[in-house]
Amino acid sequence: MTSTTINNLPPFSNEPFTDFATVENKRAMLEALDHVRAELGQTYDLIIAGCRLETPETFHSVNPANPSEVIGIHYAARAKEANEAVDAAQLAFDRWKKTSVAERVTLLLRAADLIRQRHFNFCAWLTLEVGKNWAEADADVGETIDFLEFYAREALRLDAATTPIQYPGERNLFRYIPLGVGAVIPPWNFPLAIMAGMTAAAIVVGNTVVLKPSPDAPTIAARFLTLMEEAGLPDGVINLLQGGPEVGRTLVENPQVRFIAFTGSKKVGLEIHERAARTQPGQHFIKRTILELGGKDTILVDADCDLDAAVEGVTAAAFGFNGQKCSACSRVIVDSSIYDAFCDRLKVRVESLTNGAPAENFQTGPVINEVAKKRVLTYIEVGRSEGRLLTGGSNVETDDDGYYVAPTVFVDVAPTARIAQEEIFGPVLAVIRSENFDEALAIANNTEYGLTGAIYSSSREKLNRARDEFHVGNLYFNRKCTGAMVGAHPFGGFNMSGTDSKAGGPDYLTLFTQAKSIAEKCGSIPDTPAK
């Protein structure tokens, strides 16, 4: 791709969703699943400075719908490998920061093209490693392409930045320069999109990274890095470490690591934030944390709404990918005048959901692992004492011993109940009654989180009030609270939902840079003649 092509990129547009109802796309997905199944069980090395490394211990990634099916075998990094990876990233940084923006952008665009060509294969990996049905996997892959394409264009925009004014008698420059070495610690629930998005944002502006994926989704990260190498990634720009908490803590505390980009739980994110704030011997900068944490996301259903649309939106937001999204609707606040009708229709809609293996494209499937299943079932027991069970509430037995929990709804839940306040991260929804719109807004804002929210109403006045008073980072009117689109819905939350990083937005790349202002007195020395 030439610099001329780079300078004439078409405007960004989101990758279209795949229609799996067509025979061609259904066949392609089934073929991709067969192809990926033939590659299951391979062993994956660590990658440091472009070299493949083995360690004494390995761990397995398994299919949550069938835990006996091994997706990949991975060497587990230790503190030793973590520090070596940081050293390798630091060495690579000295070269990569001098690489032209056009070359870095070209790398992202090549990677986007390669993923586009292998779209169905990546969908299949997502289906088998983390249990996404076809539509959820397709959205994950599409968002990955969007992040690569969007951040490529954003890097070009930042590179063209200027000062707001030129001061008389001076030549004023303004440049965004990279921070240095960063640790990227992505989650398992969007193991391609968020992993690739955070990594691409860091490297396109000149940083180098050590990537530590979740132990629940290591294979997808390994295959992504192989693709990046195919696209032309230089050695050491991205270093891959698989492993557990020890590796993450070592990265966070390493005095050469200048930033940590993390998406995951509030508990782990706050620990990272605290550890990063402690200055280590030899550290001569303040570490930056870019954190997207949890949510307790609310949909308001007002008396004047389209009730059927509200039921559909709540169901999709609560039980899409089995409630395992930080943006998932985990509580719905319903006006008392329509409360009973809403609950009746919601029960029918939730019970119509089909539950089964994601590879067979059921609407709902397993949670990610045994620990998650036990946590969700524990909250269901809590819910039995805090509300009335409307539907679900049980473990789902399968022949393959998958980690299934039935989509569960509790009604008549108090706004301060545990299941109305604590992040469950599973298919459990709390329904709360409100007497009026003022009370509904107050309840919506009564958690420690502030990630996503939505309101169904036909009143412009109420929508305007929600715009000003509903305190979340991503607010949606008359649509579900999940499904943020890159470019249109910059994503990140308030309060304990993180640092409001706004992934996929115009400010995101600045989080991985520092701004340098340069002023030169005009005429102080002759300009160098152009060669």
Q: Give the 3-state DSSP-derived string for 28-74, with helices as H, strands as E and coil as C.
A: HHHHHHHHHHCCCCEEECEEECCEEECCCCEEEEEECCEEEEEEEEE
Task: Provide the 3-class DSSP secondary structure of residue 84.
Answer: helix
Q: Give the 3-state DSSP-derived string for 443-508, with helices as H, strands as E and coil as C.
A: HHCCCCEECEEEEECCCHHHHHHHHHHCCCCEEEECCCCCCCCCCCCCECCEECCECCCCECCCCH
Q: Distance of CA 379 to CAs 79, 413, 418, 427, Å?
A: 35, 13, 8, 10
Report the alpha-carbon distance of residue 493 to residue 501 in Å, rounded: 7
Catalytic residue chosen out of the listed positions 326, 329, 343, 481: 326
Q: Are 419 and 430 in contact (CB under 8 A)?
A: yes
β-pair partners for 101:
none
Catalytic residue chosen out of the listed positions 84, 149, 292, 423: 292
Q: What's at 324, amino acid-wise?
A: Q
Q: Which two tokens stand for residue 478?
A: 């008359």
Query: For residue 158, which of 233, 100, 101 has the smallest C-alpha distance?
Result: 101
Query: For residue 33, which of 121, 111, 114, 94 has the smallest C-alpha distance?
Result: 121
Determine whether 326 is an active site residue.
Answer: yes
Report the alpha-carbon distance of residue 515 to residue 314 in Å, rounded: 42
Q: How far is CA 100 from the centre of its chain?
A: 28
Which DSSP symbol is given to 75?
E
Q: Are 79 and 244 in contact (CB under 8 A)?
A: no
Q: Are 254 and 82 in contact (CB under 8 A)?
A: yes
User: How many CB atoms sit inside 10 A of residue 91's CB?
Assistant: 15
Place of tokens 């939505």: 454
Q: What's at 149, amino acid-wise?
A: E
Q: Are 466 and 456 in contact (CB under 8 A)?
A: no
Task: Provide the 3-class DSSP secondary structure of residue 181.
Answer: strand
Determine whether 292 is an active site residue.
Answer: yes
Active site residues: 292, 326
